């Protein structure tokens, strides 16, 4: 079985036209991550219609044995409904396409990108089991599934003797803690690990959105509908919270970013936190930590600002 371990994993959604079209720099980011000890690399077929997978595969050429490659299937590629979902036909087609783009013989962790209400779960899980048994896939996971959906998935796998998912990929950060009271207990019930995305809440927990003076290439400009950049009320609330969190970080001799990453990794359910920088300098900034352990008293101080299970913006649930 594929082993997925942290503490940090590199997400490559930004590789390609969604973020960084300089493929040489993207390759350097992968190599820098490897040098820093990162061994899990996460992508998806939907990211720039497969471009992210291709760039990642090229960057890892000759280094395959050192890494765990995770990708996803299900979201519409280039908005095409015929290239989406979790049907038997599409999963088998998409898996072969991902293997070709990545330039590998098997995918270590193949994830259902989102639930597909139009396809019976039995059909989806049966084909994933077949992909594992024929050697194209090492292990399977889910992404942004609810606790009830995870319970259903495992009940079906158990009753049919199929291989069950080993990971769930939920959004989780100090500003988005909803999974603590719902998804995390389900993961514990089923012996799954959380591979969390958006641990920095789209950049909010780096502190770079504390003023209106932001880089024109940042998500605030490129994707203003995500992470509250069009919502004045929530933007103001997040800025106030980030100011208070910055004080906690300073009190413990940490950067805000390190505090945020240490917080999500402090939960034993979390096996790795996905970081998704757009540029090599951004990656370098994320790697300037001495430790990712949460200091004593820091969790209690954070809880007093954003309580367990609370979502500052419910839309951050993905």
Q: Which residues contact 162 (CB under 8 A, 6 or more apart)?
A: 125, 126, 128, 129, 156
| Strand intervals (E) in 136-192 | 137-143, 167-169
Cα–Cα distance for residue pair 183/170, rounded to 1 Å: 8
Residue 96 CB neighbour total at 10 angstroms: 12
Contact in structure between 196 and 264 (CB atoms under 8 Å): yes
Residue 240 CB neighbour total at 10 angstroms: 12
Cα–Cα distance for residue pair 246/109, rounded to 1 Å: 35
Contact in structure between 138 and 99 (CB atoms under 8 Å): no
The verdict on whether 47 is a catalytic residue reads yes
**Residue of 47, 110, 172, 209 with catalytic role:** 47
Q: Which residues contact 300 (CB under 8 A, 6 or more apart)?
A: none
Comparing CA positions, the residue from 304, 301, 292 lying closest to residue 265 is 292
Comparing CA positions, the residue from 275, 280, 271 lying closest to residue 260 is 275
Cα–Cα distance for residue pair 113/229, rounded to 1 Å: 25
Catalytic residues, which ones?
47
């Amino acid at each position: 079985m594929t082993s997925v371990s942290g503490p940090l994993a590199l997400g490559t959604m930004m590789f390609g036209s969604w973020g960084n079209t300089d493929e040489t720099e993207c390759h350097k980011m992968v190599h820098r991550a490897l040098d820093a000890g990162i061994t899990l690399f996460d992508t998806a077929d939907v990211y720039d219609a497969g471009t992210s997978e291709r760039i990642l595969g090229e960057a890892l050429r000759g280094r395959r044995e050192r890494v765990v490659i995770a990708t996803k299937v299900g979201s519409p590629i280039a908005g095409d409904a015929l290239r989406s979902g979790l049907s038997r036909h599409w999963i088998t087609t998409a898996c072969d396409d991902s293997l070709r783009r990545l330039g590998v013989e098997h995918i270590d962790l193949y994830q259902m990108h989102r639930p597909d209400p139009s396809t019976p779960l039995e059909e989806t899980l049966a084909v994933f089991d077949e992909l594992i048994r024929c050697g194209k896939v090492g292990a399977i996971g889910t992404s942004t599934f609810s606790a009830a959906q995870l319970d259903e998935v495992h009940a079906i796998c158990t009753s049919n003797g199929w291989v069950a998912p080993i990971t769930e990929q939920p959004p989780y950060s100090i500003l988005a803690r909803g999974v603590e009271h719902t998804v995390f207990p389900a993961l514990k019930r089923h012996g799954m690990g959380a591979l969390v995305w958006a641990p920095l809440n789209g950049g909010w927990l780096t502190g770079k959105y504390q003023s209106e003076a932001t880089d024109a290439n940042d998500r605030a400009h490129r994707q203003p509908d995500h992470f509250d950049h069009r919502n004045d009320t929530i933007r103001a609330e997040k800025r106030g919270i980030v100011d208070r969190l910055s004080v906690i970080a300073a009190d413990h001799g940490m950067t805000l970013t390190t505090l945020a990453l240490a917080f999500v990794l402090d939960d034993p359910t979390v096996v790795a936190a996905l970081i998704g920088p757009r540029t090599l300098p951004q990656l370098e900034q994320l790697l300037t930590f001495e430790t990712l352990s949460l200091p004593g008293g820091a969790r209690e101080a954070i809880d007093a600002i954003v309580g367990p299970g609370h979502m500052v913006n419910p839309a951050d649930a993905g």
